Amino acid sequence: MHNFVYHNPTKVIFGKGTIPQTGNETAAFGKRVLLVYGCLSAKSNGLLQRVIGSLEEAGCIVVEHGGVRSNPSLADVHIAIQSAKAENIEVICAVGGGSVIDAAKAISVGTCAEHDVWKFFTGKKSIRQKLPLIAVSTLAASGSEVNSGMVLTNDSTQQKFGFGHRLLHPEVAIMDPETTFTVPANYTAYGAIDALAHIMEFYMTTEQAGINVQDRYMEGLAKCIMESCDHVLLDSGDYQARASLMWSAALALNGLSAAGLGKVGFPMHLIEHSISALHNVPHGAGLSVVIPGWLKYQANQQPARMVQFFRQVFDIKEMSEVETIDCGISALTAWFKKSGAPVSLKELEIDAGEISQFAENALAQAKIWRMREYTQEKIESILELCTGANA
Amino acid sequence: MHNFVYHNPTKVIFGKGTIPQTGNETAAFGKRVLLVYGCLSAKSNGLLQRVIGSLEEAGCIVVEHGGVRSNPSLADVHIAIQSAKAENIEVICAVGGGSVIDAAKAISVGTCAEHDVWKFFTGKKSIRQKLPLIAVSTLAASGSEVNSGMVLTNDSTQQKFGFGHRLLHPEVAIMDPETTFTVPANYTAYGAIDALAHIMEFYMTTEQAGINVQDRYMEGLAKCIMESCDHVLLDSGDYQARASLMWSAALALNGLSAAGLGKVGFPMHLIEHSISALHNVPHGAGLSVVIPGWLKYQANQQPARMVQFFRQVFDIKEMSEVETIDCGISALTAWFKKSGAPVSLKELEIDAGEISQFAENALAQAKIWRMREYTQEKIESILELCTGANA
């Protein structure tokens, strides 16, 4: 086990009927609130009005910043930062999925910085201050509501970059599984696939010796994520399954899985970000295309970890290593398909001719993340396995 | 899944060579430090001197309070509180296992209270303030270094009571597995058994419906705890096994396993505390005596959960529920024996005639913990199964 520091100070308030706590939890940090939300769902299902009602009841003055899109943009964050500064905002309340919460994180640290917020993402500046953040999560996916990461897209440079810092942990995460009842089937699956990617990336790229509590933790989460997602796709209002999916996805990237693994990275995300930076596809859909190809490539690099993962998660027995890998990749790909997620660039209507562009785009992030092994050639080779040409 | 609040703000610094960080981590909260430690081991292996060196290097003024015994006493905590007040202590640094850290927690909150610290344990007062606490853990067992609980023994009333409050989370836990290399084999096993008890108590007394990420989490921890302990008992200097045991034991009671389970309790601890209150036996040794009897009794109350636990943890297949329970209890009891832990009151040289006294003693805690189902009769029935009369 490698040395580690684990410190996740986010207070999680989880369960049905917890939305009315948003007001008091937010007001504890300040009265002038920037309310950050997305495009459609929060407004249409009445959630936003309930949050605003709770904030106002707690004596908050609410300034709204709506319309955050998926794959949130730097330009939009710039506008929100200006608004936050002009309105002397003291605390941010984000209502939405990972995109909204990530945008809110960028606004939170960008408002306290003299320089452009993008400099955090390019590694040119480190975070020193933030506005407190209350995250009302409405999607089981990124775990952003409980973790220290954020991802933002710079439209002018076509770069989708991720950045992590301990100050990015929200102060409070409010997680009511009932808010996810209206998430459509395909986005439910995309969220589950995002969470699975977070587990597999860490699991399959780190060497573990001896007994590893992290392995059992990640295997258990992976099983729960898939099983919960299956139940939700059968019955979108299955509370227990929605709750299990929501909490499992959060635990998949709250820092605990990585504690003790040594240096971890996000190779699947690295490649996917280049696809959604250039094509604005849903993140989880991009991942479900990248994952099978990445697994086929990785199978030759570090097979032992992949074999162990598949044996534990898919209960594969009495098969050779090679067979286990084949069987595992097939099972996972089949599960993606069954869940309504695309598994090839072709299905995303992306031409294989763009592969070198994706690779080039990903290289900039690989450099900042110090993933030297992810060369142009390697990324291209992985993406060649994602085309669906042989499907 | 039940609604829950999960908030564990403790910063964990884990790994070899982390002891020298104690000074700076402590000094960040204040310079006047009360150093709390136990009787022998910390002094003899040089750890205490390394901690003092680190504290002094960080500019701290160190006031020592050593000699905390296992099953720490209220009388000793009273002395330390007086000392902390007289010396204007700003921060506490505890070096030891659960007993030392629990005593330090009581000192931390007792120093800030006008009333007697025991009133927290009897439920007559709630905690409002504390001194910051840095816990340097030297035993894989209680998880006290990362959780919000403490246990103290009032010698004059012969009551060993536990109490939990969110302010009891240490600010920082420093966990160097190498500090546990010198823990003797039997105490290593006692620690593992304590951690197993924390898992089984929650798992086997709560109803779960549908998919439960907590179940997979707890099953994984139980397996790791036993497997790591086995390795340590073969080679006391096996770093990976010591690390795995230390982190698994911490995760077994850091709040995460209980999140979503609804009301959880400590029935095994309830009964054990009465034994160590009256006989001052090591906590884990008392537990290894209580657990087999409690399981036999519980098998008739809530068999389904026990069956699932044993099937998952001991990989029991193709057996009826009754056979699974028999097999599981036998396997666990055999594992206790193999690990050098006693499995009957007889082995502790405790006469079965004392059972009614233990039950009476436990009732006071059961009342405070609102465990109404634990009547005198029930506790006696459980303890009758722990005598070893039929062994």
Segment B173-198 shows an average pLDDT of 97
* CA–CA distance, A259 with A2 (Å, rounded to integer): 8
Helix (H) or strand (E) run with residue A78 in it: helix A74-86
State the pLDDT at residue B270. 97
A–B CB contacts, 8 A cutoff, strictly below: 132
CB contact under 8 A, B3 and A11: no
Instruction: Specify the pTM.
Output: 0.97
Name the residue of chain A whose CA is nearest to B217's CA. Answer: A217
Cβ–Cβ contact B228 with A under 8 A: yes
Helix (H, G, I), strand (E, B) or coil at A223: helix
Cβ–Cβ contact A128 with B under 8 A: no
pLDDT in tens, A66-119: 999 999 999 999 999 999 999 999 999 999 999 999 999 999 999 999 999 999
Which one-letter DSSP state was computed for residue A199? H
Cβ–Cβ contact A166 with B under 8 A: no
* CA–CA distance, B141 with B149 (Å, rounded to integer): 13
Cβ–Cβ contact A312 with B under 8 A: no
Contact B23, B49 (CB under 8 A): no
State the pLDDT at residue B39. 85
State the pLDDT at residue B391. 52
Cβ–Cβ contact B86 with A under 8 A: no
A256 chain-B contacts, CB cut-off 8 A: 251, 256
Q: Where are the beta strands (DSSP E) in chain B?
A: 4-6, 11-14, 32-37, 61-65, 91-96, 133-137, 149-154, 159-164, 172-175
Q: How far is B176 from chain A (nearest CA, A)?
A: 9
> Letter for the amino acid at B254?
N
- Pick from B7, B220, B243: CB nearest A216: B220
State the pLDDT at residue B9. 98
* CA–CA distance, A338 with A341 (Å, rounded to integer): 8
- Give the residue among B186, B198, B352 at the shortest CA–CA distance from B275: B352
10 Å Cβ neighbour count for B350?
Answer: 23
Average pLDDT, chain A: 96
Does A391 have pLDDT greater than 60?
no
CB contact under 8 A, A221 and B213: yes
The ipTM (two decimal places) reads 0.96
State the pLDDT at residue B139. 97
DSSP-assigned letters across all residues of A319-370: --HHHHHHHHHHHHHHHHHHTT---STGGGT--GGGHHHHHHHHHHHHHHTT
* CA–CA distance, B95 with A378 (Å, rounded to integer): 49
B219 chain-A contacts, CB cut-off 8 A: 216, 220
